Structure 1
Amino acid sequence: MKPKRGSWLFLLWTLLNFTLISAIDPISTSIAVGMAATLTGILANYKSIFYLFHEGCRPDWIALNRSGLEVDLQRKMFGQHIASKVILKAVTGFMNNKNPKKPLVLSLHGWTGTGKNFVSHLIAENIYREGMRSGFVHIFTSELHFPHPSRLEIYKSQLQQWIKGNVTNCPRSLFIFDEMDKMQPGLIDSIKPYLDYYEKLDGVSYRQAIFIFLSNAGGEHITERALEFWKAGANREEIELKDLEMALSLSVFNNKKSGLWHTSLIDKNLVDYFVPFLPLEYRHVVMCAKAEMLSKGLKPDPNIADKVASDLVYFPKTERVFSVKGCKTIGHKLDYYT
């Protein structure tokens, strides 16, 4: 079958035919040699151009932009001093380690709208040139991908195959598990071997991959601790990871609705960090509104930001300290005022 005209296979096909003719007609030999040299150059350039524009599992497509991540966490994440610090150090240390002993596993916890999903996007945007559009970034949502309890064993097998296939394709893969608190108990344990300290499993190394779990579980414990600091008149920036992480891991481990209930991932210490996301105060919601205006190409208006923040529901009811939904509905609220 004759290759399509204009393709590199067509050029190769043409050269082969011309070479056969030159064997009969010596006069054409010098021309054939010239064509061969030209074709070699074309094929080499074709490969370079292909790699330039087609995403690949290579450093020019996958590399940590540490300064970019740091700036994004400072300018786009509000009220999360613990999460910002932990994530920057954890991701930087892991990506700079040429020989990690295991994958990086982060478990992000807190109420809705506090920034868990958002920060996972920031991580992807500062590692992969294509960001969340990258073919090496994979998102699993419990209610979408694992909706039926009766299919638990099938889901376990599928999840293992999905992860194995994608890591085989690119060791520097990122897996984001959203709605962990809605995941069936026991499902996440199926990937425990991939998060452990194995050099290889069936010829595949998972040590360069990143796994991020997002969950509302533990949000009540985090909020209680934040309220304690507020009632004591302490600055929320004084809250440290050590004040929350141990109790948070125990809370999630013993919560049947956490997705990590009695999981071997916790029992075997395979989760590197349990990252708490604090409930957001009024001032943080105002910051979110201003940042959203900037993202829409608008000049931040303090008056509009205040109106948007005032529309949200806060708790406790009398003191109105923390936003019930964080910054989750800011975008829609802003549309109403602009």
Structure 2
Amino acid sequence: MKPKKLHLLLLWMLCCSGVAEAIEPISTTLAVGVAAALTGFLASYPNILYYFHECCRPEWISFNRTGLEADLQSKLFGQHIASRIILKAVNGFMSNDNPKKPLVLSLHGWTGTGKNFVSKMIAENIYKEGMDSKFVHIFTSTLHFPHPSQNATYKAQLQQWIRGNVSSCERSMFIFDEMDKMHPGLLDSIKPYLDYYDKLDGVSYRKSIFIFLSNAGGEGIIQTALDFWKGGRDREEIELKDLETALSLSVFNNDKSGFFHTSLIDKNLVDFFVPFLPLQYEHVVQCAMAEMKARDLEPDRDVADKLARDLVYFPKSERVFSVKGCKTIESKLDYYT
């Protein structure tokens, strides 16, 4: 910006903020002087404004690999498969200055297992403002796309929202929650943005991240985990290959899934399907202890045990897996502390 224009802009900002009115007894000459001084200062430090207003620059968007790894290790419990995939996927993508396509992750599992939590971790270790960043966008199926009869309108709006936001910042993140409640076919409207294109209408989507969250596939994942438990095998022995068949059947062939008959699957545009295992008693205890620490409270194992014992588990006779995972820990902890 030219010095004269910057001078006028700063003067306008001072007047609009009430500064000029506050110094009216002396006259606006002082305001002009302040604006002139600031103009000279900012001319010497042209990037200073970037530190006070979030923008699409490294000062605000910078991947912290060590931070993500530490968060996955210390805050996400019982998810050895998901932790490994997420770290490798995000690190590989963010380390590539010229990716061929956007990173597309699809997270699957029962409620309370950590899907939203992981999305938050990723955002917090890429964007300085975390989930509050204006470059992180969340779509919830039941809120943003509630009526099947409006599917055509939703498709047009979704394309417009994504195109507009990526035009503003190529390092945008889009999180789609409740994919199992999304109307089939809606996702096909954004298929071009996830594909291997350098640019579409002058816009490059290759550095953006798309994350889909779904309960679809949860029952198959639970059954596999239960089979391992009944067989006396450690859950850490479960590998991705043990879950892929059950996951594909539940996600791709379910006519209630947002992925049903979508070209995203046919074209292999989803980079990773990430399974989240059901949580057991010890994981709920770990969640409670971590929540206490997050509140600057001294972690109390007795409190964590009492909270974990009072939750509902299944199968009823064995009480192996928590019905709601760690989803209600934050609200229930207030009662136990």
Instruction: Tell me if both proteins adopt one fold, taking TM over 0.5 as the criterion.
Output: yes
Deviations 1:105-158 (A, max 9, x none): 000000000000000000000000110110100000011111111111000000
Report deviation, 1:5.
9.8
Amino acid at match of 1:107: S
**Relative to 1, partners in 2 of residues 1:275 and 1:144: Cα closer, same or farther, differing over 3 Å?**
same
Deviations 1:27-54 (A, max 9, x none): xxxxxxxxxx978633425743211111
Q: What does 1:12-31 align with in structure 2 at a 5 Å threshold?
A: none
**Relative to 1, partners in 2 of residues 1:113 and 1:262: Cα closer, same or farther, differing over 3 Å?**
same
Q: Matches of 2:259 and 2:310 in 1, distance apart? A: 35
Report deviation, 1:258.
1.7
**Relative to 1, partners in 2 of residues 1:39 and 1:147: Cα closer, same or farther, differing over 3 Å?**
closer
**Relative to 1, partners in 2 of residues 1:43 and 1:217: Cα closer, same or farther, differing over 3 Å?**
same
- Answer yes or no: is 1:140 the counterpart of 2:139: yes
Q: 1:295 maps to which residue?
A: 294
Q: What does 1:102-121 align with in structure 2 at a 5 Å threshold?
A: 102-121=101-120
**Relative to 1, partners in 2 of residues 1:4 and 1:137: Cα closer, same or farther, differing over 3 Å?**
closer
Report deviation, 1:4.
12
**SS of the residue 2:90 aligns to:** helix
Preserved CA contact (<8 Å) 1:82 1:241: yes
Preserved CA contact (<8 Å) 1:8 1:43: no
- Answer yes or no: is 1:55 the counterpart of 2:54: yes
TM-score, L = length of structure 2? 0.88
Q: What does 1:40-189 align with in structure 2 at a 5 Å threshold?
A: 41-45=40-44, 47-189=46-188
**SS of the residue 2:50 aligns to:** helix
Task: Indicate the RMSD between aligned Cα atoms, in angstroms.
Answer: 2.0
- Structure 1: give runs of 5+ residues left out of the alignment: 12-36
How many equivalent residue pairs? 311
Q: 1:34 maps to which residue?
A: none
- Answer yes or no: is 1:212 the counterpart of 2:239: no
Q: Matches of 1:87 and 1:51 in 2, distance apart? A: 30
- Answer yes or no: is 1:236 the counterpart of 2:238: no
Deviations 1:45-75 (A, max 9, x none): 5743211111111112111100000000000
Report deviation, 1:7.
5.1
- Structure 2: give runs of 5+ residues left out of the alignment: 14-35
Deviations 1:246-301 (A, max 9, x none): 44133201011221111111111100010000000000000001011111221111
Aligned residues: percent identity?
75
Amino acid at match of 1:329: T
Q: Matches of 1:313 and 1:116 in 2, distance apart? A: 20
TM-score, L = length of structure 1? 0.88
**SS of the residue 2:175 aligns to:** strand
Preserved CA contact (<8 Å) 2:112 2:324: yes
Q: 1:221 maps to which residue?
A: 220
Structure with higher Rg: it is: 1
**SS of the residue 1:139 aligns to:** strand
Report deviation, 1:8.
3.1
**Relative to 1, partners in 2 of residues 1:135 and 1:5: Cα closer, same or farther, differing over 3 Å?**
same
Amino acid at match of 1:50: L
- Answer yes or no: is 1:8 the counterpart of 2:7: no
Q: 2:20 maps to which residue?
A: none
Report deviation, 1:245.
2.7
Preserved CA contact (<8 Å) 1:249 1:266: no
**SS of the residue 1:204 aligns to:** coil
Preserved CA contact (<8 Å) 2:313 2:320: yes
**Relative to 1, partners in 2 of residues 1:306 and 1:7: Cα closer, same or farther, differing over 3 Å?**
same
**Relative to 1, partners in 2 of residues 1:38 and 1:327: Cα closer, same or farther, differing over 3 Å?**
closer
Report deviation, 1:240.
1.0
